[in-house]
Amino acid sequence: MDQSDEQPRHDVPAFEPEPMRPVEDTTGDAHPRFWEAHLEAARRGSLAWGFLAFFLGYGGYYLVVLVLGAARPTHSGGFDPARPPQTGPLLLLSFAPNILLGLVPAVFSWWKGRGLRSDFGLLPRRRDFRVGLACGAIALVGSWVLTLIAIKFSGPPPATGLTRLMHGERTVWLFLFALFAFIGAPLTEELLMRGALWGALEHYRVPRYVVLVLTSLIFALIHQEAWRTPVLFFSGLAIGSARMITGRVGASVVAHATNNFLPALLLFAAAG
C-alpha cells in the first residue's frame, strides 16, 4: 500500500456536523413566541370533529332558548338569555342554554378525541395563569375604554339583564348567578370557541392570526348584542391571544374569567 494513502490529508477540512435547526423552524411560519403553541398542537390528536361540535353546541344552545321561551311566556315576549329574570331559581335557569356550549365539545372530546386535557389543554398550568391574567386584564381595561368611547358618541347602552339584576332582590340566587358568570360562562364559551372551533380551524392549517380574528368575530356576534359588538370583538382578540400564545384553552379560560371579573364583582356586591 502506498504510504501516501496512510498520511492524513490536510487540504480537506474535517467533517463538522451541521447544527440542528430550531424546532420552530420546522413548522413553517412559526415564530419563537409560538413554539409552545405548536408543541401543544403536535401533541393533541385530530380535532376535525370540532366544526360539528361547534355547530351542534351553538345549535343546541339556540334550541333550548326557543324551548324555554315557549314554555315560559311573559309579558315581555318570552325568555331571553341576555335578559334573565330577576329573582329566584330562574336566574340560574337563564344560564341553562349556556351549559350546552361547553357540554357538546366535552362529549365529542370524550367520544371522538383524547379527553379534555389532551384535546384542549383545559387544566391551566402556571404559565397559563400568567398569560391568562395578562390577556384578561388587557381585555378588561380595553373593553372599559371602548365602552366609554361608545357612550360618548352613541349614548348609554340599552338596559340589559345585568342592569336589572343590580336593582333586583339580594338573594343567594343572585350570588350563584354571579359565580356562574365568573367561572361557568368562561368555561363553557371557551370550550366552544377557543376549543372546538379553534381546534378545527387549526387542524385544517388556517393561519393563526386568521383563526384569532375569525373566532373573535364569531364570539362577538353570537352574543347578539349589537351595541357591544366592537367591545366583545376586542375582548375576543385579547382572550384569544392567550389561547394563541400557549396553545391551551386553560389560558383563555383564565383570561375570560379575568375579563368577567368586574361584572361578577358588581353582582357579588349586589347579592351581599
- Asked whether residue 1 is assigned to any structural domain, the reply reads no
Alpha carbon 168 to chain centroid, angstroms: 30
Q: What is the pLDDT of residues 56-81, one digit of tens each?
A: 999 999 898 888 777 665 544 444 55
- Regions of the chain where pLDDT drops below 50: 3-4, 12-30, 75-79, 84
Report yes or no: 257 and 250 within 8 Å, Cβ to Cβ: no
Count of structural domains, the chain: 1
Report the share of the chain in percent with pLDDT over 90: 49
Enumerate residues 6+ apart whose C-beta is below 8 A from 250. 120, 121, 122, 123, 124, 125, 128, 132
Enter the pTM of the model. 0.79
Enumerate residues 6+ apart whose C-beta is below 8 A from 186. 253, 256, 257, 259, 260
Q: Which domain holds residue 219?
A: 31-271
Q: Is the dihedral angle over the CA atoms 125, 131, 135, 141 positive or is it negative? A: positive
- Asked whether residue 126 is assigned to any structural domain, the reply reads yes
Closest CA to 100 of 54, 69, 48: 54
What's the pLDDT at 30?
44
What's the pLDDT at 24?
37
- Asked whether residue 22 is assigned to any structural domain, the reply reads no
Q: What is the pLDDT of residues 189-221, one digit of tens each?
A: 999 999 999 999 999 999 999 999 999 999 999
- Asked whether residue 144 is assigned to any structural domain, the reply reads yes
- Asked whether residue 67 is assigned to any structural domain, the reply reads yes
- For 140, other C-beta atoms within 10 Å of its C-beta total 19
- Asked whether residue 124 is assigned to any structural domain, the reply reads yes
What's the pLDDT at 25?
39
Share the mean pLDDT of the chain: 80
- Asked whether residue 239 is assigned to any structural domain, the reply reads yes
Closest CA to 243 of 268, 218, 263, 215: 215
- Asked whether residue 5 is assigned to any structural domain, the reply reads no
Task: List phi, psi (to 5°) of 192.
Answer: -75, -50
What's the pLDDT at 43?
79
What's the pLDDT at 76?
47
